[in-house]
Structure 1
Amino acid sequence: MNAFEIYGGKPLKGEIVPQGAKNEALQIISAVLLTEEKMTISNIPDIKDVNKLIDLLIALGVDVNRVNGDTYEFEAKNINIDYFQSEEFKKKGGSLRGSIMIVGPLLARFGKAAIPKPGGDKIGRRRLDTHFLGFEKLGAKFVYDAENHFFNVDATQLKGTYILLDEASVTGTANIVMAAVLAKGVTTIYNAACEPYLQQLCKMLNRMGANISGIGSNLLTIEGVEKLGGTSHRMLPDMIEIGSFIGLAAMTGSEITIKDVCFQELGIIPSVFSRLGIKFELKGDDIFIPAQENYEIDTFIDGSILTISDAPWPGFTPDLLSIVLVTAIQAKGNVLIHQKMFESRLFFVDKLIDMGAQIILCDPHRATVIGLNKQNKLRGIEMTSPDIRAGVSLLIAALSAQGKSVIYNIEQIERGYQHIEDRLKALGADIRRIEAQPAGH
């Protein structure tokens, strides 16, 4: 098993370029199935979840040409619909949560699709109901084979309709939008997600010939068209990486410049880190974070303890709550972290407590962090990464800690962060990959 060995406690310095956005990539790459014409997509992150999806497309019959490091050409001319029934598909699709995203485009273009129950993070239940309820409203019928954990979907004639989503799911909205662009008539999606990544998808679909209005709001109107053509698209930088690097700079007292961040697309993220007392400057489209001796958490206007919670966009993304929690460990002051959307995402705090953090886990959704104000450094320990975001949070903690830390199960981290050890080494981090098993294995 691969692990990271980290000697922490030293400041880092330099520039880092955020990768292309993982959550955008899974939607955009799936959308190539909507046309037989060539699609050119750049700033694709080189990470496991994205590479697995590209492999799945190749197996389905998509011609894929890697033009350079982060740019690919896709041509979905000869799709093998029978591939769905193969054992290989059940295995490949089941190992990737993002595989659900191919269902909408396949229903739209071919009238049928299938999907194994997808895998992914262990962060609590992540329902797929929103996707399927939306497809059903458009006229799809699906059958769940409980024995094989397999969904078969039939949609020979999709028709536009009014859809009120039961939750503002980003992937659910994206999937339904991709199904609706080729449906007959008008589809209205209310309570739609409006994340920048979803806006990017809708803008790209419009360039392909779709007719989507209301982009950026929670009410999307889609007039179905006969067919879509090819286009080119560049993905946004990953806002979760950008937030992670802001937290890393603060925790380690480092001077770091995060390059080309597309600042206007970051929403509330920079101001949440500001409330933790982290100073930064915008230089062009780069975020410059100076080395800070300490940083002090804001309070609410009446002096009560600050609460940071997640909410659908334009609220604060749940993917950065783990990072905020870790960053608060060395702040001056206290903060309540309220993780509303997933019930198992805070369970990694026991490792942080072992490292010397002062955290009270109130319940599965809430944790109070009592800042150490850099009076005491965390101490290095051995730990295992439970999911992508917690893994990077533990990595940040280890880089700020005194002594040696070992993080196991780093495959989880690498599902979401490309070449992370090389990029951290370039900032001066003492990190290396080793072969090791956690004790007791």
Structure 2
Amino acid sequence: MSSYKIIGGKPVYGEITVSGNKNAALPLIAATLLTDEQVILKNVPSIKDVSVMCDLLIDLGSTIKREKNTLIIQSGNRIGNLKKEEIGLVRGSILLMGPLLATLKKVKLPPPGGDVIGLRRIDTHFTGFEYLGCDCNIDEKGNLNIECDNLNNNHIFLDEASVTATENLLMACSLTSEISIIENAACEPHVQDLCNMLVKMGCKIEGIGSNLLKIKGSKKLHGCEYTLGCDYMEVGSLIGLTAATKGELLLHNVQSTIINSLNLGYRKLGIEFKMVGKSDLLIPKKQKKVIQKSLNGLTNKIDDAPWPGFPADLLSIVTVCATQMKGTILLHEKMFESRMYFIDWLIRMGADIILCDPHRAIVNGPTRLQPAIVTSPDVRAGMALVIAATCSNGESEIQNIYQIERGYENFEYKLGSIGIDIKKV
């Protein structure tokens, strides 16, 4: 199994062009099953999860041509044998339920995979489909079974603002000509990307970017060309990397609409960044690097929340950043109960962190991190451990890098281009 060897102790400098949003690529690829016409997707990252999703569509009869970061997709008969091994590699495989239900009225899907960051329920998906009149169950082999003779348009109220459940329901409703409403819908940038592409394909959707979506589908959707938005998780990761190593970075292909949400967490660590053009973001060398106290003088807190709150996926990144800032911060991971267990690796590297429970940790900084051999448990924790390695003086080894490469495009090349001594072995 491959690893990264990183020699830390140097700040990062230079420029990086941010990739397209992986979390948008997966639902948009799935949505191509909704039409018999050709769909062209641009700014698609070349990463493991995208490759697996494409393989799943090929298994369902689609033909896919890749030209650099462009996918040209033509759906087929949508009938095939989905390999349990491939389904288990990527959580996004669950997004096949919506378009297959819309087109075939019946879905049987092996259990999806993805990051092991806690209990990731599918209840919200099933509840949403039941609102539409579907019968849903899980058989003795763990397969997800959904069947519906006719999708009934309805007012759907989700018990949580689940991104993938919202996306599945959007696609399931897209081929019905009546109006459906999704309340407490997720509104992350990748959900907005899916909505905007479905509109291009012929749907009418009101409330894009809000928690209340009104969808009027069409009995026949057509092909389109769509460009994915930037990967704001990569932006957030590079902000953390730059600040932690005391460097300076200019990021290209950044949407200004993501800045306020990222700022919710980073400003509490004394980290600043700003747009310097229509799509360029500067992370300057000069930073306060002092953790803010709350207005009453008590320890401040960074917690995650559904969009436009601070993204849960960046809690791992700000945890490492906090070890290099002056002061104390409470980090509260509200959404997943296993994400913070990677902190044990940071403590092994010398971080002053108290893991209060599976959801909360107190970080005291700054501390000098020591090189170590560590293992990446998931894609964002893996990136956080890479940042920790770059902050240490000496050689560290990051194992299980498959997890990292699932979510970051051209990872070794990009980090090497900004001065990090990194080698894949």
- CA-CA distance at 1:286 after TM superposition: 1.2
- CA-CA distance at 1:271 after TM superposition: 4.1
Which position in structure 2 is the counterpart of 1:210?
203
User: What are the equivalent positions in structure 2 for 1:354-373 lying under 5 Å apart?
Assistant: 354-372=348-366
- CA-CA distance at 1:94 after TM superposition: 2.6
Matched, 1:58 2:58: yes
Which position in structure 1 is the counterpart of 2:389?
398
Q: 2: CA distance between counterparts of 1:103 and 1:183?
A: 16
> Which of the residues 304, 320, 324 maps onto 2:298?
304
Do the aligned residues in 2 keep the contact of 1:160 with 1:224 (CA within 8 Å)? no
Change in Cα spacing, 1:279 to 1:185, as seen in structure 2 (3 Å) is closer
Which position in structure 1 is the counterpart of 2:248?
255
Q: 1: CA distance between counterparts of 2:162 and 2:116?
A: 18
Do the aligned residues in 2 keep the contact of 1:157 with 1:183 (CA within 8 Å)? no
Moved more, 310-319 or 93-102: 93-102
Give the gaps of 5 or more residues in structure 2: none
**What letter matches 2:116 in structure 1?**
K
User: What are the equivalent positions in structure 2 for 1:112-123 lying under 5 Å apart?
Assistant: 112-123=106-117
- CA-CA distance at 1:261 after TM superposition: 0.8
Runs of 4+ in 1 over 4 A off after TM superposition: none
Which position in structure 2 is the counterpart of 1:439?
none
Q: 1: CA distance between counterparts of 2:292 and 2:100?
A: 48
What's the secondary structure of 1:422's corresponding residue?
helix
RMSD: 1.3
Matched, 1:428 2:419: yes
Q: 2: CA distance between counterparts of 1:385 and 1:416?
A: 13
User: What are the equivalent positions in structure 2 for 1:83-122 lying under 5 Å apart?
Assistant: 83=80, 86=81, 89-122=83-116
Which position in structure 2 is the counterpart of 1:438?
none
What is the TM-score of this pair, normalised by structure 2? 0.97
Which position in structure 2 is the counterpart of 1:287?
281
- CA-CA distance at 1:230 after TM superposition: 0.7
**What letter matches 1:288 in structure 2?**
L
Q: 1: CA distance between counterparts of 2:50 and 2:62?
A: 15
Matched, 1:353 2:353: no
Q: 1: CA distance between counterparts of 2:109 and 2:336?
A: 23
Q: 1:382-423: per-residue Cα shift (whole Å, max 9, x none)?
A: 111111110000000001111110111010111111121111
Q: 2: CA distance between counterparts of 1:281 and 1:162?
A: 40
Q: 1: CA distance between counterparts of 2:53 and 2:330?
A: 37
Q: 2: CA distance between counterparts of 1:115 and 1:217?
A: 30
Which position in structure 2 is the counterpart of 1:74?
73
- CA-CA distance at 1:80 after TM superposition: 4.0
Q: 2: CA distance between counterparts of 1:377 and 1:293?
A: 18
What is the TM-score of this pair, normalised by structure 1? 0.94
**What letter matches 1:400 in structure 2?**
C
Q: 1: CA distance between counterparts of 2:177 and 2:11?
A: 58
Do the aligned residues in 2 keep the contact of 1:65 with 1:74 (CA within 8 Å)? yes
Q: 1:183-228: per-residue Cα shift (whole Å, max 9, x none)?
A: 3522111111111211111111011110111111111111232111
- CA-CA distance at 1:350 after TM superposition: 1.1
Q: 1: CA distance between counterparts of 2:424 and 2:258?
A: 33
**What letter matches 2:31 in structure 1?**
A
**What letter matches 2:240 in structure 1?**
G
Q: 2: CA distance between counterparts of 1:412 and 1:25?
A: 17
Matched, 1:382 2:373: yes
**What letter matches 2:7 in structure 1?**
Y
Give the gaps of 5 or more residues in structure 1: 435-441
Do the aligned residues in 1 keep the contact of 2:271 with 2:287 (CA within 8 Å)? no
- CA-CA distance at 1:95 after TM superposition: 2.6
Matched, 1:318 2:293: no
> Which of the residues 186, 193, 207 maps onto 1:193?
186
Matched, 1:128 2:122: yes
**What letter matches 1:382 in structure 2?**
I
Do the aligned residues in 1 keep the contact of 2:264 with 2:310 (CA within 8 Å)? no
User: What are the equivalent positions in structure 2 for 1:30-41 lying under 5 Å apart?
Assistant: 30-41=30-41
